[in-house]
Amino acid sequence: MGININELFKGVAVVIDDQVNDPKANIQKVLEQIISLHIPVVKYTNIPNEDDVSHFQSLSFVFLDWQLVKQDIADADTINGVSIPSGLEYENSKKNIEFIKKLNEICYCPVFIFTNDIKDNIESTLYSAKIYKRDSQNNIFIEQKSSLQQKNSFQKVVENWIKKNPSVYVLKEWEREYQKCKSRLFFDFQQMSPVWPQVMWKCFNEDGCNKSLELGELISGNLYTRMKPFNFNEDLLKGTYCIDDNCAELRKVLEGSLFLKEESLHDDNIAPGDLFYYSSCYFVNIRATCDLIPNRDDTRFTIDDVDLYLLKGSKLSNKKTNYSFNKNYGHFDEREGQTVIFPLHGGKAIDFRFKTIVIKKWQEIKDKRIGRILPPYITKIQQRFALYLHRQGLPRIPEEAIF
């Protein structure tokens, strides 16, 4: 199944080439191909400054000429056979790397580097800067300029690259639906009331909760419900990935889907699933969200005074992890008084026990938080703990009755 580049790449393309304004330069052949796909183009003859880059929050892609040198230097090199000074080449590479790093901070989009230089040299430079992986999938694509001179060659090169980079394909498909839903959401709310943010802000303020967090979650939740079911291209996603050969990588992906690290959390936001580590043990907060806000009837009561209800957990050994895992159902065999979450905090299986609950104030342990277990996994812990509290004790069955 082919890829519709025009449908997949919605947004503006940025082209950075020192000869982009020269009507006789080869870059014009590439521009013609991009424009023929009805993708708007913003041109730069040099690396954009930081203020410009701050606006690159929703791009189709970036087209970067790696060797950005002034035209008179390039001509002199051609005429006199003089190579580009190593100092100039180093500064050029340094600027390119800084630009890509800044871009990745605000917009994860494909960066197409087309050059006359040796591809391996550029790969080594990017690899040393820790923004490129060898023999792996990247959002950076490096190719020789000579491969783009034929008609439709840009589209074919991009199509082949996307087939090898499912992460970029999924991003662009999701982004397309997200942008449509975002517009629908704010248009719908605007029709309901032009001051809807103020209405909700007042409600959150009266609840005494984190107003900014609640407003953000309201928007995120409504966006999610408006997004239509996706229809991803199976041919691009089934691939030839072998799980057996990439166990560590698989664990990282699974952990990322159920666990949010501390650096991604707000300091003043407490929630069910907050995970703490101290005294060589793990502790997870199971208290309901509505109970994790300061007492609005007492102005002396701050977020530091909020009590957390913590269940204690410990790491399962590899032997116990293998023993407890039920291959038939893809879950761990658990008793009434426990639940196992895997993988957490570096690919570990953590066994949380329900017999004892620890109450700690936020002020006491906030610097021990290492992340947050996300739904539905924290919901599972809360539900199993609730069932544990309501369990009915039964008499033991004599062994003789069974054996």
Give the 3-state DSSP-derived string for 123-162, with helices as H, strands as E and coil as C: HHHHHHCCCCCCCCCCCEEEEEHHHHCCCCHHHHHHHHHH
Please classify residue 62 by burial: count the beta carbons closer than 10 Å to its beta carbon, then call 0-12 exposed, 13-18 middle and 19+ buried. buried
Last residue of a domain, one of 105, 138, 164: 164
Query: CA-to-CA distance for 277 and 312, rounded, in angstroms?
Result: 10
Q: Are residues 178 and 155 in the same domain?
A: no
Last residue of a domain, one of 213, 234, 255: 234
pTM of the model: 0.69
Query: If pLDDT is split at 50, 70 and 90, which confidence band does 240 have?
Result: low
Domain assignment present for 160? yes
Last residue of a domain, one of 164, 195, 212: 164
Q: Average the pLDDT over 125-154 and give the result.
A: 82
Domain assignment present for 240? no
Please classify residue 388 by burial: count the beta carbons closer than 10 Å to its beta carbon, then call 0-12 exposed, 13-18 middle and 19+ buried. middle
The pLDDT > 90 percentage for the chain reads: 33
The pLDDT value given to residue 79: 37
Domain assignment present for 403? no
Q: Are residues 74 and 126 in the same domain?
A: yes
Domain assignment present for 397? no
Residue 323 lies in domain: 247-389
- Output the six-digit token pair for 243: 């799980």
The pLDDT value given to residue 77: 47
Query: CA-to-CA distance for 148 and 151, rounded, in angstroms?
Result: 8
Q: Average the pLDDT over 39-62 and give the result.
A: 90
Count: domains in the chain: 3
The pairing of beta strand 259-261 with beta strand 369-373 = antiparallel
Q: Are residues 116 and 80 in the same domain?
A: yes
Helix (H, G, I), strand (E, B), or coil: what is residue 37? Answer: coil
Q: Are residues 202 and 263 in the same domain?
A: no
Q: Are residues 222 and 260 in the same domain?
A: no
Q: Are residues 152 and 25 in the same domain?
A: yes
List pLDDT tens digits, range 293-305.
887 666 778 889 9
List pLDDT tens digits, range 157-169.
888 788 777 888 8
Q: Are residues 61 and 155 in the same domain?
A: yes
Q: Are residues 153 and 191 in the same domain?
A: no
Domain assignment present for 239? no
CA atoms within 13 A on the CB side of 300: 0
Query: CA-to-CA distance for 321 and 344, rounded, in angstroms?
Result: 13
Q: Average the pLDDT over 186-205 and give the result.
A: 90
CA atoms within 13 A on the CB side of 9: 25
Query: If pLDDT is split at 50, 70 and 90, which confidence band does 24 have?
Result: confident
Q: Are residues 259 and 380 in the same domain?
A: yes
The pLDDT value given to residue 87: 63
Q: Average the pLDDT over 148-154 and give the result.
A: 78
Q: Are residues 325 and 353 in the same domain?
A: yes
Q: Are residues 259 and 225 in the same domain?
A: no
CATH number of the domain that residue 124 is part of: 3.40.50.2300
